[in-house]
A and B are shown apart, each in its own frame.
Chain A
Amino acid sequence: MPPTDPTDRTDPVQLSDDRLLLRLPAQSDVEAIALACQDAALQRWVPVPVPYERDHAVDFVASRPERWAAEDGEMTLAVTDRTDGRLLAMVGLHARDAGMREIGFWTAPWARGSGVMTAAARLVCRWGFEDLGLARIEWWAGVGNHASWRVAEKLGFTREGTCRSRLPHRGNRLDGWVAGLLPGELR
C-alpha cells in the first residue's frame, strides 16, 4: 500500500521572499482576477470559463478554502506584491497521487516578464518538497505553451513526454507536455 499522503488536510500557508507574498486568495482579489482572466493569452492555455465574468472570480475565491482541504483538492495561493499588495499571479499544487502533486499557475498580463512566476513557483516547489515531503512534482501544459515551459525549465523540471489528446480544454482536448521535478532538482 502506498504511504498516507503527507499533504492531507494541510491548512493554507503563506510563503514569501523579499519581493512576493503568497497567500490564500481573498475577496479583495476579485477585480484583479476577473481582469487578468480577460486576457487572450491566458485564456488560450488556462481552462478558465470564457467569457470570464466577475461572478466566476467570486466563486473561485469563495471555493478556495474548501478546495485547499479536499482530498482531490488544490492548494491555491495568490501571488501578491509585498509592498503594495497588488495581485500578480496565481499558483497551486493540485492533488494527484500519494506523495505527488501537480503544479499549475497563471501570470496576470501586468506582471509578465519580471520573473515573478518563476520566483513564486520556486517558493511553492520548495515548500512542497520540504514541508509536504513530496517525492515528485508534475507539470502539464498544452503542447506549444512555451511561456509555461520557460518557467518550469528554469526551476529544473525535466520534460518526460508528449501525450496525445490529453488535456480537456473547453470541450476540446489538447495534446499535452508532461514534465517532472524530483527532490534535489529544484533550482
Chain B
Amino acid sequence: MTEGQRTYPVPELEQEGLVLRPWRDDDAAAVREMAQEPVSRQWSASLRTVVTDEDALAWIRRRRGGGRVDWAVCDVTTGDVVGRAGLHGIGDDGRNAEIGYAVVAGRRRAGVASRAVAAASAYAFGPLALTRLSLIHAIGNPASCAVATRCGFAYEGTERAALDHGDGVLHDAHRHARLATDLGGRVAPPPQAPPAIEPVEIAAGRVQLRPPSPADAEDALLMLGDPGVARWNPGPGTLDLDEARAWCARGADWSSGTHATFAVLDATSGRLLGNVSLHRIDRAQRDAEIGYRVAPWARGQNVASGAVAAASRWAFGALDLVRIELAHAIENPASCRVAEKAGFLLEGTLRQAFVYGDGQRYDEHLHARLVTD
C-alpha cells in the first residue's frame, strides 16, 4: 500500500485511564522491550525489525512519517508506555485508513487495545473526517478478532496469504471495517468456520490410508482414466500429470473441515489401490457422505470395503459423526456390494437422483451407517 505524502498532526487523546500521545525519542527503550516480547513479534511485522535501541529509534521516526497518525498508548497515572495505536495508509483522498495496535505483555486482557482503538477511531471519524477504517488481523490471533467486534469493526472477509508472521509462510487474515456512519458498539463476530481436520494415517490390515501425495499422481492418473471410474466417480475430468499432482495436493488439504480424502495404498508395496473420501462433512449436524474409487489393478480384493469401513470407524470416533451416507447408481452393483460389506444398510432408492460421469441421470441406492450400527 502506498502511503500519502501528507503528514498529519498527532494530538493527545484521553480515554478511560489511558492517554494516547505522540511518540518521543526517549520511548526507544520501551519500544525495544515491546519488540523483544514473542507475542508482539509474532503479530507485528514492523516490531519484528527492532532489536537494538537504534532500531527502536528508527521505528519511532517511521511512526512520524506521511499518511499516518501513530500514538504511544500510556497509563494515565504512571505514564508508562502500555502499547501503541495508529492509523496508517491514510489515502491520498483522506477518506480511508487502516488501524493497528499492540499491547505490552503485562497489560493484556485489560481492555487496553479496545480503549485505544475506540480513542483512535473517534479521532479518525471526528477531526480527521475519514469515512472508512479497516482492521486486518491474522486469523490465528483471536484476541484481535475480539477487539475488532467489540469496537464495531464488522467482519468483511478472509484474505488469503495476506500477512507475514515472520515464519516464512504467508497467513490468511480477517478484514474488518468500520464506517463513519456505523452506529458503533459491538458487532457480530465472523461466521464460525468448521474446525480444520487434522490429517491422519490409518493402518487397515492389507491396506493403508493416508492423505494423497503428489507422488501418487501417476497411478492416480491411470485410475482416473479407467472407464469404470470415469463413469461412476465423476471427478476432475481429464487431467495431465501436473494437474493430477495438483488434484492429489488438494485432496491432502483438509483445512476446510468439510472433507477428509484418503489415498488407499497396498500396505506392503505402497502402490496406490484407490481412494476413499468423506465429504460434505457437517460437524454441527454430525453427518457426512462417503465415496470411493478402486484402481483397475486392485479390483476384487475387498480394497474398497476395507477402506470404507476403516475410514468410517475413524470418522465416527475422531469427528464424532452419527450418520454417514453412501449413494451409488443402481446400475453399479459392485458398489452395492462394497456398501453392504462395509456395514451400510440400504435405506431407499432415489429415482433420477444424480448425474454421473456419462452425463446421464441415474436412480441411486441410498445406504447409510449409523455410529450405533
Contact = CB atoms under 8 A, between A and B. Distances in A.
Contact of A163 (B237, B347, B353): B347
Interface string A1-12: 111000000000
Interface in A98-152: 98-100, 135-136, 138
A1 B234 contact: yes
A49 interface: no
Nearest to A177: B348
Given A164-B370, A173-B323, A180 B237 contact: no
B151 to A, nearest CB: 24
Contacts of A173: 286, 322-323
Nearest to B350: A160
Interface residues of B, number: 22
B361 A135 contact: yes
B323 A164 contact: yes
A160 B355 contact: no
A138 B350 contact: yes
Contacts of B285: 168
Interface residues of A, number: 23
A160 B351 contact: yes
A100 B354 CA distance: 9
A67 to B, nearest CB: 14
Interface in B166-193: none
A180 B350 contact: yes
B348 A136 contact: no
B368 interface: yes
Interface string A54-94: 00000000000000000000000000000000000000000
B349 A160 contact: yes
Which of A97, A162, A166, A182 has the most chain B CB atoms closer than 10 A to its own CB?
A166
A163 B350 contact: no
A95 to B, nearest CB: 13
A165 B370 contact: yes
Given A160-B348, A163-B348, A163-B368, A180 B353 contact: yes
Contacts of B287: 168
B353 A100 contact: yes
A17 B351 CA distance: 30
Contact of B352 (A1, A3, A135, A163): A135
B361 A158 contact: no
B330 to A, nearest CB: 12
B368 A166 contact: yes
A86 B208 CA distance: 62
Interface string B265-302: 00000000000000000000111000000000000000
Contacts of B237: 1
Contacts of A180: 350-353
A166 B367 CA distance: 12
A97 B361 CA distance: 12
A82 B351 CA distance: 36
Given A138-B353, A160-B350, 4 more contacts: A161-B350, A162-B347, A173-B322, A178-B350
24 contacts: A1-B234, A2-B355, A97-B353, A97-B355, A99-B361, A135-B361, A136-B353, A160-B348, A161-B348, A161-B349, A162-B347, A163-B368, A164-B345, A164-B347, A164-B368, A165-B322, A165-B323, A166-B323, A166-B368, A168-B287, A173-B322, A178-B348, A180-B351, A180-B353
Interface of B: 234, 237, 285-287, 322-323, 345, 347-355, 359, 361, 366, 368, 370
Interface of A: 1-3, 97-100, 135-136, 138, 158, 160-166, 168, 173, 178, 180, 182
